[in-house]
Amino acid sequence: MAQHDVEITISQTGQVRVHVKGVKGKGCLEYTKWLAGVVGRVKDEQLTSEYYEPETKSRIDLKQDLNIEE
């Protein structure tokens, strides 16, 4: 199975930049859709050359665990 990497950069002003690597075709949009739900509204989106490559069948399981102490 191919390895997928998600690079997340948070600037000092709180702007979040996400770069999904290793996902061919529209599969990367599953990552970005999930991450947008976590970090907030999408301001800008730039598709890489991998987006336009033929998709490979893969299953993406994303989960989020929040440990909030009160």
pLDDT band (50, 70, 90) for residue 69: low
Distance CA 46, CA 24 (A): 15
**Tens digits of per-residue pLDDT, 14-52?**
888 888 888 878 877 887 788 788 777 778 888 888 888
SS3 44: coil
Give the C-alpha distances (Å, rounded to integers) separating 13 from 16, 18, 20, 43.
9, 15, 22, 14
CA angle 33, 35, 40 (to 5 degrees): 95
